[in-house]
Amino acid sequence: MKKRTLILKFILAYFIFFTFGFILVTIFVPNQTRDYLIRKKAEILYSEATLIANTYASGLYTSEASLETVALQLNALSVYMESEIRIINPSGRLVLDSSRAIPVDETVTISGFDPAITSGTYYVTGDFFGSLKSEMLTVLAPIITDYKIKGYVAIHTSMQEIEETCNMLLNISYISMGILYLLSLIILIFFVELVYIPLRKITYAAEQYADGNYHYEFQVDSQDEMGYLAATVNYMSDTIAGAEDDQKKFIANVSHDFRSPLTSIRGYLEAMIDGTIPPEMHEKYLNVVLNETERLTKLTNGLLTLNNLNTKGMRLEWSDFDINKVIRDTAASFEGTCRKKSMAIELNLVGDELLVHADLGRIQQVLYNLTDNAIKFSHHDSVIKIETNIKKNKLFVSVKDTGIGIPKEDLKQIWTRFYKSDSSRGKDKKGTGLGLSIVKEIIAAHDQNINVISTPGVGSEFIFSLALTDTDEI
């Protein structure tokens, strides 16, 4: 029921439109048309009546014309005008009537005659004080001589012609209205086809997605907003389905990465307790256990960092700092590790001091992760190069090694959480696969880019950009 309300509303709107249209055409339009036609006809008749009053009829009162002459003229005029013309005294006595001759000895009076009947409109419809057999349109014009009203010229005309014209015009408007309704039905059909049916499909699909059925597929072929909406909903479901798969993979990875150090810790501890590992060997194995716990700590820290980075609206603590100092400090912190592998870090930096605008702590982490990887995946006695370059008002920092390199098929994936290439698994047991995803997120949060160029067996170079401090502003 809920789903059908839209179409019901549309049909209701259609019926309201139909009803109001019907009332308009059957009541308002006929009245207006009839009034208009009567007024127009009355205007013409009134000017005729005034003309008669000022010419023939006033001649009668100034004795310039005889009753017979005027009667003849009025008869001719009434035939021509298809109307009845009368001359009436102010008292209501008929002086002349074009429809019949009034005998000299007979006095015909219109009882109740009141010339004020037309006041305001100068015309009246009806039987004119009961003096007409049928309903007629009457106009009344005064005959004035010597500034006195001597009588009135009344012209009565049949309403039939007006009614006929009115009916003809109304028929046209009824037919137009009918055609309009039929045409508006087309709108209803279009609405159902273009809006209602696609909308129902989209709603049904949305319900399916809400129920967790993200693989439900539907088709809306139109190229308009509905098609766009359907494509967007489809895309959204794919993204959600993808995110769900990612989540599952993520949890599987986390569990796996937590389980292996825990299993080995448990194994060593049990072996120590039950005596499989003799007490004199305890120190050696406790160190192994320590290493494993270190790995767990690293994993947990990595996850927490990623989680913080992922939080929407992550706030960076922007500041202007000397990137050269940060690079030197990072390199120094790896001195011990490098010595163990007889490796060296070579720095090739622009200027003595170079200010960049970024989050110091986060950029330190980026440099740390990249240098850590470079050392991890390099051979003994090799050199790591950290260089800076300025191009197009941006600083590019490169961390380059001559280590194992990354196979082409792995290049896209190294940024994904928990990804470790097969070749690196053996070499780096402590790796979490989170380092580069953290790096990527940090650089993206700075609105900058990071790229990698790598050839297996030759080495890798990671290059990221940073915004230089706008020295004009300092």
Contact set with ligand ADP (CB under 6 A): 369, 373-374, 377, 401, 403-406, 414, 419-421, 424, 428, 431-437, 460
Nearer residue to ligand ADP within complex by CB, 158 or 402: 402
What SS3 state is found at 380?
coil
Instruction: Tell me the closest approach of the beta carbon of residue 407 to ligand ADP, in angstroms.
Output: 9
Instruction: Tell me the closest approach of the beta carbon of residue 215 to ligand ADP, in angstroms.
Output: 31
Phi-psi region of 135 (alpha: psi -120 to 50; beta: other; left: phi over 0): beta
Nearer residue to ligand ADP within complex by CB, 292 or 401: 401
Instruction: Tell me the closest approach of the beta carbon of residue 426 to ligand ADP, in angstroms.
Output: 11
Nearer residue to ligand ADP within complex by CB, 198 or 433: 433
Distance from C-alpha of 9 to C-alpha of 13, rounded to nearest angstrom? 6
DSSP secondary structure letters along 266-299: HHHHHHHHTTSS-GGGHHHHHHHHHHHHHHHHHH
Nearer residue to ligand ADP within complex by CB, 380 or 392: 380
Distance from C-alpha of 35 to C-alpha of 28, rounded to nearest angstrom? 11
What SS3 state is found at 327?
helix
Instruction: Tell me the closest approach of the beta carbon of residue 361 to ligand ADP, in angstroms.
Output: 18
Nearer residue to ligand ADP within complex by CB, 365 or 448: 365
How long a stretch of residues is the chain? Answer: 474
Distance from C-alpha of 247 to C-alpha of 321, rounded to nearest angstrom? 37
User: What's the Cα-to-Cα distance from 21 to each of 157, 189, 310, 396, rounded to whole Å?
Assistant: 33, 20, 59, 73
Nearer residue to ligand ADP within complex by CB, 160 or 301: 301
345, containing H or E segment = strand 344-348
Instruction: Tell me the closest approach of the beta carbon of residue 374 to ligand ADP, in angstroms.
Output: 5
Q: For tokens 């500041």, name the residue.
A: 319
Q: For tokens 């790229």, name the residue.
A: 451
What is the DSSP code (8-state) at residue 383? E
In DSSP terms, 318 is beta-bridged to 359
Instruction: Tell me the closest approach of the beta carbon of residue 258 to ligand ADP, in angstroms.
Output: 15
Distance from C-alpha of 391 to C-alpha of 463, rounded to nearest angstrom? 13
Instruction: Tell me the closest approach of the beta carbon of residue 408 to ligand ADP, in angstroms.
Output: 12
Instruction: Tell me the closest approach of the beta carbon of residue 403 to ligand ADP, in angstroms.
Output: 5
- Helix %, strand %, coil % of the chain (to 5): 55, 20, 25
Phi-psi region of 433 (alpha: psi -120 to 50; beta: other; left: phi over 0): left
Nearer residue to ligand ADP within complex by CB, 151 or 459: 459
C-alpha closest to that of 214 among 192, 195, 241, 247 = 241
Distance from C-alpha of 53 to C-alpha of 140, rounded to nearest angstrom? 10
Distance from C-alpha of 443 to C-alpha of 465, rounded to nearest angstrom? 8
Instruction: Tell me the closest approach of the beta carbon of residue 260 to ligand ADP, in angstroms.
Output: 14
- State how far Cα 345 lies from the chain centre: 56
Instruction: Tell me the closest approach of the beta carbon of residue 322 to ligand ADP, in angstroms.
Output: 25
Structure tokens at 280: 């004199």
